[in-house]
Amino acid sequence: MAPSYNTMEMMICVASRYLEDGKTVAVGTGAPCAAAMLAQKTQSPNLVILFEAGGISPLLPQMPISVGDSRTFFRAVMAAGMTEMMTTCSRGLVDYAFLGGAQIDKFGNINSTVVGDFYKPKVRFPGSGGANDFASFCWRTMIMTVHSKSRFVEKCEFVTSPGFLSGAGAREAAGLPEGGPYKIVTDLAVMGFEEKTKSMMIESLHPGVDLDKVKAETGFELVIPKQIGSTAHPTEKELKVLREDVDPLKLVIGRA
């Protein structure tokens, strides 16, 4: 019998599995940080975690509440600054970035700036921060988000952080390095990107979720492969470490 868990725990556990030992990952606070911490405390003890404000490879004692929280510098290799952090990304030294956004389109472009007319918007969001730099220069971008039709749109109304832009070859034509969007982990499924077209492609369905549900909550046509995988449940070990060592105060995971 599978252990009991909630959707946030599912997303964190699934995302953590993609972070390999010895790689580097730039994260924000919240769920991406929890996923990186979980990976470091389970299968990837040599994962190097970096924060936008300049904490490089800290040994996080607790979940930080911001990218500049003093805990992001605890026993770090370096207490640098934002300029050093962005330079590290642009030099090609960061394998993964974790991002979120208000809108994500079929080529993995992200809008975290505005919905509606730029000058008279329906909603204005915080904007880029370091997200544009991360999406532009880290080799692979991962996203964790709730799966809804209003979030997964045919075309972003504003591109804050570049994915594959208009499709295959567009990143390179714009002067950006190879790489780009890698995995999108939602409460329903895991998506990747088709190699030929760079369009979003479903890879696996979470337990109890059917394909029609994912299609109904996506505002564009997903690439559907011949075989769709089934996402593995969080393990007892993953949940124990997540609940007891990563987020014992349940700041992110909530109540299972």
Phi, psi (deg, nearest 5) at residue 87: -65, -40
Q: What is the C-alpha to C-alpha distance for residues 108 and 104, in angstroms, rounded to an integer?
A: 6
Pairing of strands 55-56, 78-79: antiparallel
Q: What is the C-alpha to C-alpha distance for residues 75 and 192, in angstroms, rounded to an integer?
A: 35
Residues constituting the chain:
256
For the chain, percent helix, then strand, then coil, each to nearest 5?
A: 25, 20, 55
Residue pair 2/27 in contact by the 8 Å Cβ criterion: no
Tokens for 29?
Answer: 């606070």
Phi, psi (deg, nearest 5) at residue 250: 55, 45
Q: Report, as residue numbers or ranges, the catalytic residues.
A: 52
Contacting residues for 61 by C-beta, under 8 A, at least 6 apart: 71, 74
* Nearest Cα residue to 169 out of 154, 180, 158: 180
Q: What is the largest CA-CA distance in the chain?
A: 53
Phi, psi (deg, nearest 5) at residue 242: -60, -45
